[in-house]
Amino acid sequence: MDDTLFLIKGTFLTKATNLINLKLGAKVTGASDSSFIDGPVKKTGNTAFVFPTGANNSYRPIEISAPATTTSEFTAEFMEDSVMVNTDNRDATLSYLFRNKYWALERNSGSSNVYVTLSWSASNAVVDTFISVSSWNGSQWKDLGHGTISGDSATGTIKSNTTAAYYNEFTIGYLNINTLPNIPNCSSVQNPAFLRFCLVHTSSGTVSVTAPITINNSAALGPGFFPIPIHSGVILEGLVGGFATKWWEPNCPLITADHKAKYEVDNPAFPIINLYLFSIQPGATIQNLRIRGANLDHKDFNDPDFLCGGIYVQGIGNTAANILNCEIFGFSQAGIWKNYDTDLLNIDNCYIHKVKGRSKYGIGYGAWLMSEQSPIAQVVNITNTIFDDCKAAIDGQDTL
């Protein structure tokens, strides 16, 4: 393209061998959720540029500052994939990373280091502005800091505070709680806002729930509230009077939510993870809690496309995700759903029940544990666990 690319309606689908190349002086106008480039796009020149990237009906641009030379070339693409960015190797200033939505930004020609501006939308809205631009250098996520931040929790942009030195993957990361002022007491969490804050900003250690938490009218908490992440090295636990209280013991803390989300089979615009109350990574633990969903009456909210789930297990790692001493009930899709790629999962001393509903879609799994066929054994250990009143207790093909 030598001049202007007008985006009005519809999506360009590109690939590395068949991409759009915007030459020196070329511009783009009109990009939106209705029209963007799904795949790589290249820009040549020495002016700042907003790459009109996106995927699955979501416009997710990435911007670079002006390179030094007219022959500088950069290629950008927005990606939805949890594999390439699934890592615990990150700067100490970072905690949770947006692992499944990121950008591939390559410097094809020239040596200019540029500032990078990333965006977010309602599909992965931010909880607060304690965020940073993060760059993968080949072995570790580096914190590029935060310069200008604009927008609100649903839509906005963040500019890096320093120029990037490596051009691989870029994503938004939350800042570690140890770097933040006026933090809540994560050893005694008693409301939904503090629960989410402590979990997204804690990179290791324990977050303790010490009283019942009810998450009603979830939209009022912001579009990015669910699923609440529990990442590697973090323990989410119930605690009463300084003691861990298991689900069958009196006063075990109860977390209940009315959360539900639209789901259509094989439609990436409505990924299954959006249904879930929690997402847990390898090396993380959730224990000593009662977790109740919005489906106790076994209805599907008068709309069969809207479902709810309990705990989504995702990511690749050498350590197990652990769900221990928990009661999980009142969901329609599944109490526990293991992503295909997750290798190790322990479910011990749990009570999983009242998981069913009425829908044309597959629902009602106490635990959905199927995996990809792989030379690496994907192992789920289930010990002393009760499944009751589920449409299907366990679905576990290709899992040992």
pLDDT level of residue 182 (50, 70, 90 thresholds): confident
Rounded Cα gap, residues 366 and 322, in angstroms: 16
The number of folded domains in the chain is 2
Tell whether 53 and 143 lie within a shared domain. yes
DSSP string, 76-142: EEEE--SSTT--S-B-TTEEEE-TTSEEEEEEEES-----EEEEE-GGG--SSS-EEEEEE-SSSEE
Give the residue numbers spanning the domain of 327.
Answer: 183-395
In this predicted structure, the answer to whether residue 302 has a pLDDT above a threshold of 50 is: no
Q: Could you tell me what percentage of the chain is helix, strand and coil, using 3-state DSSP and rounding each to the nearest 5?
A: 5, 40, 50
Round the average pLDDT of the chain to a whole number and report it: 89
pLDDT digits (tens, 9 = 90+) for 345-358: 999 999 999 998 76
Decide which of 153, 175, 197 is a domain's last residue.
175
How far the first Cα of the chain sits from its last, in Å, is 52
Question: Does residue 139 form part of some domain?
Answer: yes
Q: What's the predicted TM-score (pTM) here?
A: 0.88
What's the pLDDT score for residue 338? 92
> Where residue 132 sits, what CATH number does that domain have?
2.60.220
pLDDT level of residue 264 (50, 70, 90 thresholds): confident
pLDDT digits (tens, 9 = 90+) for 113-171: 999 999 998 777 888 889 999 999 988 999 999 999 999 888 899 999 999 999 999 99
pLDDT level of residue 301 (50, 70, 90 thresholds): very low
Cα–Cα distances in Å, from 351 out to 53, 243, 265?
44, 20, 28
Question: Does residue 400 form part of some domain?
Answer: no
> What are residue 196's phi and psi, to 5 degrees?
-65, -45
pLDDT digits (tens, 9 = 90+) for 189-217: 999 989 999 999 998 899 999 999 999 87
